[in-house]
């Protein structure tokens, strides 16, 4: 069927990954998370919460869990409302620019401002993660079964370019400000936080200007509200979800294995700083290397998904993730721990983009267009619930043992269990089930 898809719309859609990935790198993965854990929340000394001493890294992990819980609970209902009202772009804009505003407010967070910093971060994280629900909801509308892997992969690839580009600019700001015409030590990490807000705001404009809203607004029945409609559609979907057995099994598998992936992303720079003594500039260079390999990996795995199938490609990526986790626990087995950490960064980067892009593709293949935002809301629930439990468990283990390495072992169970469930998914049946949307 001719959907009237234009190449410019695909590029505009992909550019949103380019825009908001700056938050994923500078805020969530590299600079702010380490700054919050070590400076704002006093690092290993930590803070006292309800009489319990929490290391800074654990407190940050709990903040991530709270944000993800809010997204996981709200987005299925909001996604259903967006589908019914034909307003995915409006919901996307609200979450996007709310996230941009509170990311900018992180500029004002200093040492000891851990409660205010946690509040601003949680709202910014809700904006970032919530906007991705509606952004992902456009994927089935601008692709076909034959192109969804490549388009999803292109989005992830541009995301890694965007996140990496701003990270490189942040490195120049902190270490080589004279390249930009400023004196040494002119910029601080706070300026890096502000740069994310500006970058995200500017490069998100294409999706709002040139991507067409294909949904249509249904008439609101007399006496009904969009909120009640949203709840009704979600509960009806839950009641009839048995029709989509393959999608349901995939979401459970994704919930589990993505737990491990998200925890690695969030805690990697804190691990590098506290276990290996890596400084801010070195961590930025490290994650620039990860971004570069992730860019290549997202493209390679996108092609593999279209040729070998999404399921097989995801399974392959999960095997590599297991190897990464085991090696991280025994770091220093062959060479120096820091050298091996760089090798692990290359391996993780190759499967980071691939596993996430291919998972999004498989979700798209199983998702009826009429329920795209709603079903991607459930996809977000799986992803965001993963982000609740991963950092939460890691934070608990860290609080009990005081060891970042020991928290690594918990991730093996998530990857192995996710693989076992994913093996039961029939990709061909999932595509067939897609042809029967819930109305």
- What CATH number did the domain enclosing 316 receive? 1.20.1250.20
How far is residue 230's CA from residue 124's CA, in Å, rounded to a whole number? 24
How far is residue 347's CA from residue 164's CA, in Å, rounded to a whole number? 17
- For residue 412, count other CB atoms closer than 10 A to its CB: 15
Taking Cα atoms as reference points, which of 378, 401, 384 lies closest to residue 65?
384
3-state secondary structure of 169: helix
Q: How far apart are the first and last CA of the chain?
A: 20
How far is residue 60's CA from residue 120's CA, in Å, rounded to a whole number? 12
Phi, psi angle pair for 6, to nearest 5°:
-105, 145
Query: Domain limits at 50?
Result: 7-212+225-433
What's the pLDDT at 153? 75
How far is residue 83's CA from residue 376's CA, in Å, rounded to a whole number? 11
How far is residue 256's CA from residue 254's CA, in Å, rounded to a whole number? 5
Taking Cα atoms as reference points, which of 167, 119, 138, 109 lies closest to residue 289?
167
DSSP lists the bridge partners of residue 47 as: 54
Does 111 reside within a domain? yes
Structure tokens at 70: 């809010």
**Residue at token pair 């200007």:** 209
Does 18 reside within a domain? yes
Q: Which residues contact 182 (CB under 8 A, 6 or more apart)?
A: none
Helix (H) or strand (E) holding 252: helix 245-276
Taking Cα atoms as reference points, which of 147, 152, 206 lies closest to residue 9?
206
Ranges of residues in the chain with a pLDDT under 50 are: 1-2
Length of the chain: 439
DSSP lists the bridge partners of residue 53 as: 48
Does 218 reside within a domain? no
- Positive or negative CA dihedral for 218, 221, 222, 224? negative
What's the pLDDT at 48? 92
Does 2 reside within a domain? no
Measured CA angle at 385 (ends 383, 391), to 5 deg: 100
How far is residue 245's CA from residue 52's CA, in Å, rounded to a whole number? 43
Does 438 reside within a domain? no
Does 317 reside within a domain? yes
3-state secondary structure of 261: helix
Q: Which residues contact 308 (CB under 8 A, 6 or more apart)?
A: none
The total domain count for the chain is: 1
Structure tokens at 398: 């860290």
Does 366 reside within a domain? yes
What's the pLDDT at 2? 44
Helix (H) or strand (E) holding 125: helix 114-137
Q: What is the dihedral of CA 245, 251, 257, 258, to 10 degrees?
A: 170
Taking Cα atoms as reference points, which of 294, 267, 359 lies closest to residue 28?
267
DSSP lists the bridge partners of residue 48 as: 53
Specify the DSSP class assigned to residue 31: S
DSSP lists the bridge partners of residue 68 as: none
How far is residue 241's CA from residue 256's CA, in Å, rounded to a whole number? 19
Pairing type for strands 47-49 and 52-54 reads antiparallel
pTM of the model: 0.84
Does 220 reside within a domain? no
């Amino acid at each position: 069927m001719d959907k009237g898809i234009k190449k410019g719309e695909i590029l505009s859609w992909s550019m949103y990954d380019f825009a908001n990935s700056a938050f994923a790198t500078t805020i969530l993965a590299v600079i702010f998370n380490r700054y919050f854990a070590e400076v704002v929340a006093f690092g290993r000394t930590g803070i006292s919460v309800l009489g319990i001493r929490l290391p800074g890294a654990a407190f940050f992990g709990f903040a991530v869990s709270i944000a993800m819980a809010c997204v996981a609970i709200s987005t299925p209902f909001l996604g259903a409302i967006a589908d019914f009202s034909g307003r995915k772009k409006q919901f996307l804009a609200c979450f996007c620019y709310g996230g941009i505003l509170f990311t900018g407010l992180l500029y004002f967070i200093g040492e000891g401002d851990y409660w205010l910093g946690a509040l601003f971060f949680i709202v910014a994280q809700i904006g970032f993660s919530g906007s991705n629900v509606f952004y992902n909801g456009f994927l089935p509308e601008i692709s076909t079964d034959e192109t969804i892997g490549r388009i999803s992969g292109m989005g992830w690839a541009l995301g890694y370019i965007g996140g990496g580009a701003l990270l490189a600019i942040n490195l120049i700001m902190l270490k080589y400000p004279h390249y930009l015409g400023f004196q040494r030590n002119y910029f601080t990490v706070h300026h890096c936080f502000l740069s994310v807000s500006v970058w995200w705001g500017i490069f998100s404009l294409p999706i709002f200007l040139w991507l067409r809203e294909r949904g249509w607004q249904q008439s609101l029945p007399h006496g009904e509200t969009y909120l009640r409609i949203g709840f009704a559609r979600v509960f009806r979907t839950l009641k009839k979800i048995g029709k989509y057995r393959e999608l349901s099994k995939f979401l459970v598998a994704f919930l589990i294995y993505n737990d491990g992936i998200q925890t690695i992303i969030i805690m990697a720079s804190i691990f590098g700083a506290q276990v290996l003594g890596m400084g801010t500039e070195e961590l930025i260079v490290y994650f620039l290397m990860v971004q570069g390999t992730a860019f290549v990996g997202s493209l390679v795995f996108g092609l593999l998904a279209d040729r070998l199938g999404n399921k097989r490609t995801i399974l392959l990526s999960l095997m590599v993730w297991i190897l990464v986790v085991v090696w991280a626990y025994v770091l220093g087995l062959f060479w120096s721990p820091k050298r091996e950490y760089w090798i692990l960064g290359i391996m993780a980067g190759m499967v980071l983009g691939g596993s996430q892009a291919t998972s999004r593709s498989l979700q798209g293949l199983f998702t009826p267009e009429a329920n795209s935002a709603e079903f991607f809301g459930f996809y977000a629930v799986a992803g965001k619930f993963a982000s609740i439990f991963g950092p939460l468990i890691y934070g608990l283990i860290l609080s009990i043992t005081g060891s970042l390495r020991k928290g690594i072992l918990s991730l093996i169970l998530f990857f192995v269990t996710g693989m076992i469930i994913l093996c039961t998914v029939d990709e061909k049946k999932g595509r067939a089930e897609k042809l029967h949307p819930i109305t």
